[in-house]
């Protein structure tokens, strides 16, 4: 009896999730079960979450003291940058429910990009450039890190569209902007986070 | 002039702190004495995580600024700091030594109170791969270190000799540890199996000092899922749930919830990602590292349980 109730509850949760997140949830299922973030019976806030921010929820595992080895923090601006102060949080770049296909025919990794407009493609609503495509793929071994196209590709595919995970937002950085201006040869092929760590607010 | 205003003067505060902590007398405020530290103004705390109390001072780790901050318990002003190269997280104090779990070097480093690195617990480099928390029983000459990588608790004496290991095979994703020194019990918070299909896998597992499993307070019965801070006071277990943004207080023997402190939010007394909790055994004030809000929260008399 209890098992039946649990199965029905799980089905209800999955159905609810399908309405809330139009994409599939394969990546989520591969790494975390639904109930690890969503509380079916005791949720105290919207979308079956408890009264906590999504950022705090992510950082319970990926923040200081969290159990994940993939540590992260929000994206802050460098005090010497051309940008006014900003604070980019988890869901602005990641859809925790799945890795989506990208506009160049591949599939993104690290749940980068979300379905912004019903196309099912990985996109990001950028601060200064509207909704943009984002491509973040693994392009070969680099100590387990994705390389090249994934971060900043110097328009590797020659389509005049700078869609790397870092550059798709950047318009005022010295290097790797989302257009052809500025320098695009800065450490091309390197993994950006090797110097600008996710856990260090992407600062150097 | 009331006491807290009096303490606002930097120089007077320095003297006060020095009186409270004799060994730190010659440390100029803001001066880092670790191998590669900086100098000048005290850097702003941005990501407080673990915490330990020593007399009138709170020692707070910040892995973003890579400092251990020394705060005055009474007004939470920062009186000093020392820098730790790497990722300082766990922190504990015994016999005028500060034990710092460094996730980057995979070790527990031992500092003098002015912040000079003296040695490593059990040896340098990689022996405790992810020292996410530690607890000290000075009288029993024991220090308990959670290793999040090996998924166990490593036990040393205060000189660094390995004694035993607790919870291997039982603990799945341990995060923090606290001691009931009166009863000789070790409380270990565990996120549990994150791939468990149904239910709440979190729990607090209780062992004796030799490592025998005594009981478990489950997350499903206790209403917590991300236990990130533990403290024991007067037979009560204080648990910081990072997800709820709340401190849950249990009867440590039965696991019955007796009260809660705080709520999720950004206002006074509200928490976002609380990562540790300390109870002052004398005043019964409860201190919480409020990570996302970059501050330490105090619940006056929060340790009083009816």
User: How do strand B270-271 and strand B274-279 relate by DSSP bridges?
Assistant: unpaired
Whether chain B has a CB inside 8 Å of the CB on A197: the answer is: no
Q: Encoding tokens for residue B280?
A: 């002052």
CB atoms within 10 A of CB B77: 16
Provide the shortest C-alpha distance from residue A203 to chain B (in Å). 11
Q: Encoding tokens for residue B151?
A: 């998924």
Rounded to an integer, what distance in angstroms lies between the CA atom of residue B199 and that of residue B261?
Answer: 25
DSSP state string for B57-104: EEEEEETTTTEEEEEETTT--EEEEEE-SS-EEEEEEETTEEEEEETT
Q: Encoding tokens for residue A91?
A: 């869901």
Provide the shortest C-alpha distance from residue B228 to chain A (in Å). 7
Q: What is the model's pLDDT at position A14? A: 47
R_g (Cα) of chain A, nearest Å: 18
Residue that has been written with the tokens 């070969």 in this structure:
A140
Q: Report the residue from B199, B272, B275 with minimal CB separation from A65.
A: B275
Write phi, then psi, for A7 (nearest 5 degrees): -65, -40
Burial grade of B287 (CB within 10 A; 0-12, 13-18, 19 or more):
buried
Rounded to an integer, what distance in angstroms lies between the CA atom of residue A109 and that of residue B136?
Answer: 42
Provide the shortest C-alpha distance from residue B282 to chain A (in Å). 28
Instruction: Indicate yes or no: CB of A63 within 8 angstroms of CB of B194.
Output: no
Residue that has been written with the tokens 């607010």 in this structure:
A201
- Answer whether B245's CB lies under 8 Å from B274's CB: yes
Q: Report the residue from B133, B199, B226 with minimal CB separation from A60.
A: B226
Q: What is the pTM of this model?
A: 0.85
pLDDT-derived band at A28, boundaries 50, 70, 90: low
Q: What number is the average pLDDT over the span A186-204?
A: 86
- Answer whether A199's CB lies under 8 Å from A73's CB: yes
Total length of chain A:
204
Q: What is the model's pLDDT at position A4? A: 56
Q: What is the model's pLDDT at position A139? A: 67
Residues A152-161 pLDDT 10s: 767 777 888 8
Q: Encoding tokens for residue B150?
A: 């090996």
**Helix, coil or strand: residue A27:** helix
Rounded to an integer, what distance in angstroms lies between the CA atom of residue B101 and that of residue B106?
Answer: 8
Q: What is the model's pLDDT at position A26? A: 58
Whether chain B has a CB inside 8 Å of the CB on A63: the answer is: yes
Q: What is the model's pLDDT at position B26? A: 33
Chain B residues inside the 8 Å CB shell of A33: 194-198
| Contacting residues for B202 by C-beta, under 8 A, at least 6 apart | B189, B190, B191, B192, B218, B219, B224, B225, B226, B227
Residue that has been written with the tokens 């950028």 in this structure:
A126
The conformational region for residue A24 under phi > 0 = left, psi -120 to 50 = alpha, else beta, is beta
> What is the chain B residue with the closest CA to A32?
B195
- Answer whether A146's CB lies under 8 Å from A109's CB: yes
Rounded to an integer, what distance in angstroms lies between the CA atom of residue A30 and that of residue B124?
Answer: 36
Neighbouring-strand partners of residue B264: B271
Residues A36-68 pLDDT 10s: 788 777 677 777 777 678 899 999 999 999 999
Instruction: Indicate yes or no: CB of A6 within 8 angstroms of CB of B198.
Output: yes
Instruction: Indicate yes or no: CB of B292 within 8 angstroms of CB of A10.
Output: no
Q: What is the model's pLDDT at position B126? A: 74
Alpha helices in chain B (DSSP H): 3-6, 10-20, 219-222
Instruction: Indicate yes or no: CB of A35 within 8 angstroms of CB of B223.
Output: no
- pLDDT exceeds 50 at position A145: no
Q: What number is the average pLDDT over the span A91-105?
A: 91
Q: Report the residue from B173, B199, B242 with minimal CB separation from A35.
A: B199
R_g (Cα) of chain B, nearest Å: 18
Average pLDDT, chain A: 79
Chain A residues inside the 8 Å CB shell of B196: 33, 35-36
- Answer whether B136's CB lies under 8 Å from B98's CB: no
DSSP state string for A126-184: ETTTEEEE------S-STT---GGGT--SSTT-SS----TTTTT-SSSSB--SSSSSB-
Query: Which ipTM score applies to this complex?
Result: 0.85
Neighbouring-strand partners of residue B221: none
Provide the shortest C-alpha distance from residue B25 to chain A (in Å). 31
- pLDDT (tens digit, 0 to 9) for every residue of chain B, 306 residues total? 333 333 344 455 554 444 445 444 333 333 333 333 445 689 999 999 999 999 999 999 999 999 999 999 999 999 999 999 999 999 999 999 999 999 999 999 999 988 999 999 988 877 899 999 999 999 999 999 999 999 999 999 999 999 999 999 999 999 999 999 999 999 999 999 877 767 778 999 999 999 999 999 999 899 999 999 999 999 999 999 999 999 999 999 999 999 999 999 999 999 999 999 999 999 999 999 999 999 999 999 999 998
CA nearest B253: which of B234, B272, B225?
A: B234
Instruction: Indicate yes or no: CB of A67 within 8 angstroms of CB of B191.
Output: yes
Chain A, 9-48: which have a CB under 8 Å from a chain B CB? 10, 31-33, 35-36, 39, 42
Chain B residues inside the 8 Å CB shell of A53: 264, 272, 292
Total length of chain B:
306
Rounded to an integer, what distance in angstroms lies between the CA atom of residue A33 and that of residue B140?
Answer: 41
pLDDT-derived band at A188, boundaries 50, 70, 90: confident
Q: Sign of the CA dihedral B188, B192, B198, B200?
A: positive
Provide the shortest C-alpha distance from residue B118 to chain A (in Å). 24
Q: Report the residue from A32, A50, A52 with minimal CB separation from B194.
A: A32
- Answer whether A21's CB lies under 8 Å from A95's CB: yes
The conformational region for residue B145 under phi > 0 = left, psi -120 to 50 = alpha, else beta, is beta
């Amino acid at each position: 009896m209890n098992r039946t109730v649990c199965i029905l509850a799980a089905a209800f949760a999955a159905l609810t999730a399908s309405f809330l997140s139009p994409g599939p949830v394969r990546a989520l299922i591969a790494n975390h079960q639904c109930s690890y973030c969503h509380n079916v019976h005791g949720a105290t806030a919207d979308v079956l979450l408890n009264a906590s921010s999504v950022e705090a929820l992510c950082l319970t595992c990926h923040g200081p003291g969290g159990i994940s080895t993939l540590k992260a923090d929000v994206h802050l601006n460098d005090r010497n940058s051309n940008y006014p102060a900003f604070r980019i949080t988890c869901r602005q770049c990641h859809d925790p429910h799945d890795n989506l296909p990208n506009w160049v025919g591949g599939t993104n990794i690290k749940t980068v990009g979300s379905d912004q407009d019903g196309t099912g493609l990985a996109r990001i609503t950028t601060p200064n450039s509207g909704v943009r495509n984002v491509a973040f793929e693994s392009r070969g071994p680099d100590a387990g890190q994705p390389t090249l196209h994934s971060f900043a590709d110097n328009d590797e595919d020659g389509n005049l569209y700078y869609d790397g995970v870092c550059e798709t937002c950047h318009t005022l950085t010295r290097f790797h902007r989302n257009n052809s201006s500025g320098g695009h040869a800065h450490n091309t092929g390197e993994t950006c986070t090797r110097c600008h760590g996710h856990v260090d607010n992407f600062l150097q | 002039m009331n006491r807290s205003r009096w303490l606002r003067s930097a120089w007077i505060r320095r003297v006060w702190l020095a009186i409270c902590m004799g060994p730190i007398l010659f440390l100029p405020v803001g001066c880092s004495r670790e191998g590669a530290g900086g100098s000048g103004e005290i850097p702003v705390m941005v990501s407080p995580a673990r915490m330990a109390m020593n007399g009138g001072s709170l020692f707070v780790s910040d892995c973003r600024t890579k400092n251990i901050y020394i705060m005055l318990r009474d007004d939470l002003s920062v009186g000093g700091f020392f820098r730790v190269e790497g990722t300082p997280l766990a922190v504990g104090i015994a016999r005028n030594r500060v034990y710092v779990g460094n996730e980057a070097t995979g070790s527990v480093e031992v500092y003098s109170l002015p912040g000079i690195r003296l040695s490593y617990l059990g040896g340098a480099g990689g022996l405790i791969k992810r020292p996410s928390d530690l607890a000290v029983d000075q009288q029993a000459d024991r220090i308990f270190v959670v290793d999040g990588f090996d998924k166990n608790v490593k036990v040393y004496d205060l000189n660094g000799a390995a004694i035993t290991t607790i919870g291997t095979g039982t603990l799945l994703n341990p995060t923090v540890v606290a001691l009931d020194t009166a009863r000789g019990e070790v409380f270990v918070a565990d996120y549990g199996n994150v791939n468990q299909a149904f239910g709440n896998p979190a729990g607090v597992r209780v062992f004796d000092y030799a490592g025998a499993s005594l009981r478990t307070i489950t997350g499903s019965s206790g209403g917590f899922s991300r236990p990130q801070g533990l403290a024991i006071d007067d037979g009560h277990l204080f648990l910081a749930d990072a997800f709820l943004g709340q401190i849950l207080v249990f009867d440590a023997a039965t696991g019955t919830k007796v009260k809660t402190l705080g709520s999720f939010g950004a206002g006074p007394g509200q928490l976002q990602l609380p990562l540790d909790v300390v109870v002052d055994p004398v005043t019964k004030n409860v201190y919480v590292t409020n990570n996302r809000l970059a501050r330490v929260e105090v619940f006056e008399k929060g340790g009083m349980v009816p």
